[in-house]
Amino acid sequence: MNTPLLVLLLATGLLMLFSPRLGLVATLALGITLLTLTVRHQPYAHWLWLPWLLTLAWSLKPLRKIVITRPALGIIKRMLPPISATEHDAIAAGTTWWETDLFSGKPDWKKLLAIPQPRLSPEEQAFLAGPTEALCDMLDDWVITHELRDLPAPVWDFIRSEGFLGMIIPKEFGGLGFSAQAHSAVVGKIASRSVSAAVTVMVPNSLGPGELLLHYGSDAQKKYYLPRLASGQEIPCFALTGPEAGSDAGSMPDKGIVCRDFYKGEEVLGIRLTWEKRYITLGPVATVLGLAFQLHDPEHLLGSVEEIGITLALIPTSHPGVNIGRRHFPGNQAFMNGPNHGTDVFIPMSWVIGEREYVGRGWLMLMNCLAAGRAISLPALGTASAKMAARYSGEYARVRKQFKLPIGKLEGVEEALARIGGHAYTLEAARRMTCVGLDLGEKPAVVSAIMKYQATERMRMALNDAMDIHGGKGICAGPRNYLATAYQAIPIGITVEGANILTRTLIIFGQGAMRCHPFLLKEIEAAALADTQKGLEQFDGAFTAHVSHIMFNALRSIVHGLTLSVFAPAPATPTAHWYKKLSRLSSAFALTADAALGLLGGELKRRERLSGRFADVLAEMYLASAVLKRWEDEGRPAEDRALVDYSLALSVHQIEKQLYGILLNFPSPFIGWVLRRVMFPWGRCMAEPSDKIGHEVATLMLKPSASFDRLSEGLFLSRNRAEATGTLEYAFQLVTDTKDIEAKIRAARKDGLLHSEAPEAALLAGIISAAEAQLLVDTAAAVREVIMVDDFSNAELSGMRTPAVHRAELLRPGM
Interval 500-519: pLDDT, tens: 999 999 889 988 888 888 88
The dihedral over CA atoms of 509, 515, 521, 525, expressed in degrees to the nearest 10, equals: 120
Name the band, by pLDDT with cuts 50, 70 and 90, for residue 806: very low
* Alpha carbon distance 464, 736 (integer Å): 26
Percentage of the chain with pLDDT > 70?
A: 89
pTM: 0.91
Name the band, by pLDDT with cuts 50, 70 and 90, for residue 18: low
Each residue's pLDDT tens digit, 343-356: 999 999 999 999 99
Inter-residue contact 561 to 584 (CB < 8 Å):
yes
Percent helix, strand and coil across the chain, each rounded to 5?
65, 10, 25
Q: What is the pLDDT, as a whole number, of residue 803?
A: 45
- Cα separations (Å) of 739 from 705, 743, 744, 746, 776? 15, 6, 9, 11, 10
Q: Which helix (H) or strand (E) holds 748?
A: helix 739-750
* Alpha carbon distance 33, 630 (integer Å): 57
Name the band, by pLDDT with cuts 50, 70 and 90, for residue 807: very low
Lowest mean pLDDT, pick from 19-33, 449-463, 718-732: 19-33
Counting Cβ atoms within 10 Å, is residue 262 exposed (0-12), middle (13-18) or buried (19+)?
exposed
Q: What letter would DSSP give residue 116?
A: P
Inter-residue contact 84 to 438 (CB < 8 Å):
no
- Cα separations (Å) of 337 from 254, 289, 374, 452? 19, 13, 19, 20
Among 442, 497, 696, 729, the active-site one is 497
Identify whether 123 is a catalytic site residue.
no
* Alpha carbon distance 470, 399 (integer Å): 11
* Alpha carbon distance 447, 434 (integer Å): 8
> How large is the average pLDDT for residues 249-265?
92
Each residue's pLDDT tens digit, 62-98: 877 888 888 888 888 777 665 666 666 666 777 889 9
Q: What is the pLDDT, as a whole number, of residue 68?
A: 82
